[in-house]
Structure 1
Amino acid sequence: MKIKKILIASFVFALGVNPLFAQKTKPLFPETPGMVSYTFRKSLAKDPAATLDTLQKLGIKDMEFSSLFGKTAAELRKLLDERGMKCSSFGVQYPDALDKTKEVGENAKALGAKFVRVAWIPHKGPFTLEMAEKTVADFNKIGKQLKDEFGLTFCYHNHGYEFEKHEDGTLMDYIIQKTDPKYVSFEIDLLWTFFPGADPAALISKYPKRFKLMHMKDLKKGVAGNMSGGTPVENDVALGTGQLDIPAILKAAKKSSIEHYYIEDESPSYATQVPQTMAYLKSLTY
């Protein structure tokens, strides 16, 4: 028996595989991603219940809503509960977060969300230090009220224009560094980090405890970026078919404080691209 084991080990070694170090590959992203409601915005606006049925069939259980789609928060929560789904993040406009914080907090709690997210800072022209300074003050105020009164975590979703140069970094660095970690966290949008020339994996690694949420999206090959914060929706492509190094980003994310990963696909081809994205994520190993 001992000789047989030695012969088998010798055979395996001869094939170039050392049994002491041989390991099966592990899935890089074994979980089912969440979904940003904006991906299905047109169908949700027409028939929220039927759209949630479609998402449920795709295996989606975690939602980030950026609109109530004509429902009350309680009505939308009921539709989710009936399908075994949840809303973990509620996205609102900057003015509402600032001037209607109590209403926003009440709606987020009614939805069952843990996070409140803002994705755009109103501005004209290039984003400036003065704008960033006001943003920091506003975000600290919003975040404190949401945390103190509702137990919610406020997150800012970057959109590209914040990566204007500032000192040794960018205005995005300034916002992250100057906001209070007790009250302000972040949602990294992969496309809107890459588009202005930044590296999503490096940004996550630089601030591993500040990002709590992620928008997973890819940029069409050949498209050049800029600081505008805008690009045609057709430039959103299925993960793995664009310019971003998704595996490197996810490896960095797994070492960070990111809790929820949402697919966001703004393109008109979302119906075919979303299943493609989900299949790609399941295929990744390390």
Structure 2
Amino acid sequence: MRSRILLFLTFLLSTTTHELFAQKGKPLFPQTPGMVSYTYRASFSKDPAATLDTLKSLGITDIEFSSLFRKTAAELRQMLDERGIKCSSFGVQYGDALEKTQEVGQNAKTLGAKFVRVAWVPHKGPFTLEMAQKTVEDFNTIGKKLKDEFGLTFCYHNHGYEFEKYEDGTLMDYIIQKTDPKYVSFELDVLWAFFPGGDPAGLLTKYPKRYKLMHMKDLRKGVEGNLSGGTPVTNDVALGTGQLDIPAILKAAKKSGIEHYYIEDESPSYATQVPQTMAYLKSLTY
């Protein structure tokens, strides 16, 4: 009887140890990421079809368009369908989202997108509470129209200047807390959360249900951030070679409501950095 118990305990211990080691090697980011068209903006401006062929050759089948590149939404949709690529998000300017909501909604639906995204609030000087209040009002208006009339989800993409201090947080917190969750969601640009001194993983943990999309990018080592919302495009580097803690961000993202992950690399070296980024993501394990 005693020997049987010892044998069972030995079996249990070996099985548990095996499972622990197996879990340790589990891929952190097993899926293929999407791509923001802005990464390939120079190429898209010259030949959208050939650029989509390049993305397909990389295995990318999910795209967020930041422009129509002098094509109609229907023309781009045909190119996407021919290659088995889906457009999940459509990025537009603030003014167009507010003043041309019908046109924006129709284009997004034609592209097949579920999300409409704005990435910049026009402003001069430091971002203020008054600006944030106007932004909240406009976003609620835009989001309601897009949801009610087109079934689309409106998202705001942070750009750094919103991290001005306000009360016990920032104006980014104010925008998230004051917008209506039924009509306004968010796209986390991890670089533009880190650059002004924010914590990308912390934002996902704090507001897990508000973030639906993510821009994955990294900041060159040695570069100091600020609240300007701008930095030279050459400061974008391949994931894993810069300052951001990408594994921590992805772990937080997995526990949140992120639906689409996009690579965004604004650097002129994107052609070499994108494959490097994809290889890095594939190499990550728990």
Regarding TM over 0.5, the answer is yes
Equivalence for 1:205: 205
Paired residue type of 2:82: E
Equivalence for 2:191: 191
Paired residue type of 1:231: T
Shift in Å at residue 22 of structure 1?
3.9
Equivalence for 1:172: 172
Q: How does 1:102-251 map to 2 (within 5 A)?
A: 102-251=102-251
Shift in Å at residue 19 of structure 1?
4.3
Whole-Å separation in 2 of the counterparts to 1:82 and 1:135: 38
Q: How does 1:38-49 map to 2 (within 5 A)?
A: 38-49=38-49
Whole-Å separation in 2 of the counterparts to 1:279 and 1:18: 29
- 1:29 and 2:29 matched: yes
Whole-Å separation in 1 of the counterparts to 2:19 and 2:80: 48
- Paired residue secondary structure (1:23): helix
Whole-Å separation in 2 of the counterparts to 1:180 and 1:20: 43
- Paired residue secondary structure (1:229): coil
Cα shift readout 1:130-158 (whole Å, capped 9, x = no counterpart): 00000000000000000000000000000
Shift in Å at residue 70 of structure 1?
1.0
Whole-Å separation in 2 of the counterparts to 1:282 and 1:89: 23
**Which runs of 5 or more structure 1 residues have no equivalent in the other structure?**
none
- Paired residue secondary structure (1:191): helix
Whole-Å separation in 2 of the counterparts to 1:116 and 1:23: 40
Shift in Å at residue 20 of structure 1?
6.5
Distance 1:102 1:19, change over 3 A: closer
- Paired residue secondary structure (1:31): coil
Shift in Å at residue 259 of structure 1?
0.1
Q: How does 1:7-22 map to 2 (within 5 A)?
A: 18-19=17-18, 21-22=20-21
Cα shift readout 1:66-108 (whole Å, capped 9, x = no counterpart): 1001110000000000000010000000000000000000000
Q: How does 1:244-259 map to 2 (within 5 A)?
A: 244-259=244-259
Whole-Å separation in 2 of the counterparts to 1:175 and 1:18: 47
The number of equivalent residue pairs is 279
Distance 1:59 1:119, change over 3 A: same
- Paired residue secondary structure (2:78): helix
Shift in Å at residue 18 of structure 1?
3.7
Equivalence for 1:51: 51
Cα shift readout 1:177-223 (whole Å, capped 9, x = no counterpart): 00000000000000000000011000110000000000000000000
Whole-Å separation in 2 of the counterparts to 1:21 and 1:227: 43
- 1:90 and 2:90 matched: yes
Distance 1:48 1:19, change over 3 A: closer
- Paired residue secondary structure (1:223): coil
Equivalence for 2:75: 75
- Aligned-residue sequence identity (percent) comes to 81
Paired residue type of 2:147: K
Paired residue type of 2:22: Q
Paired residue type of 1:163: F
